[in-house]
Amino acid sequence: MSKESFSVPNGQAARYDFQHSLLIICKFNAVAWGIPAEKITIFEAKCSDYEQKYSITNNRSTQSPAATAARDAAWSIVAVEIEDIYNHYLLNNDDVSASDKMALHISTTSGRGGASTPPPTTMPIVNMIAENTAVLRIVFTDSNTTGSHSKPDNVAFCEICYKFDAPAPVTPDECTIHQNISRSNELLVFETDKRGKTLYGYARWVNRNGKVGPWSGQFTAIVP
């Protein structure tokens, strides 16, 4: 027996991208996945309100404590809607393909005790490449297969944790921002106030049973 779960990335820019992509994917697959049209309409309206408030806080000339509070309140409403959509229409839905589940940050946890897969023993090697203004592209390989950008067998995603600016962290515990990366070459989009800042991070594999591998060595990048 297995159980599916989902994860929402942390960080303002990552949450924005997540809800935006989720809306697009759900609109395209609504009929196939049994999502009612009215549910999509409600979700789209709430996402639109959140995105409008997010854009205000993402602009130096319009951001303010009041705007930030409004954005966070709008996100709370969107987050409730996201959880409802996953729980009622996406998780354990056989019509959702394996590739779509990866894009939707859905992972499977086995409930068969001793038959479950052991945790990964290798670690990701991560490079963060300047892609555009306030955008970094994440390219990873496995420490045992450096010639490939594929994840090891049974690995669901690469978990990264990071922080900005000195002092550099000594351990991953000092990195408070966590995000799950489903495939190599995914983009991380940051708020404009992060431009020029140094990012310090670590990465590890997480398998389909939710078991984690060892953390990688530290990687760094400057947000362009």
What is the pLDDT at residue 114? 45
**Which residues make Cβ contacts (< 8 Å) with residue 213, sequence separation at least 6?**
119, 120, 121, 122, 123, 204, 205, 206, 207
| Full set of structural domains in the chain with CATH | 2-110 (no CATH), 117-222 (2.60.40.10)
Q: Classify 192 as helix, strand or coil.
A: helix
What is the pLDDT at residue 113? 46
Q: Classify 6 as helix, strand or coil.
A: strand
Cα gap 217→204, rounded to integer Å: 10
Cα gap 176→172, rounded to integer Å: 8
Q: For Cα atoms 105, 107, 113, give the angle at the middle one, nearest 5 degrees.
A: 165
What is the pLDDT at residue 165? 92
What is the pLDDT at residue 109? 62
| pTM > 0.85 | no
Residues of the chain under the 70 pLDDT cut: 1-3, 109-116
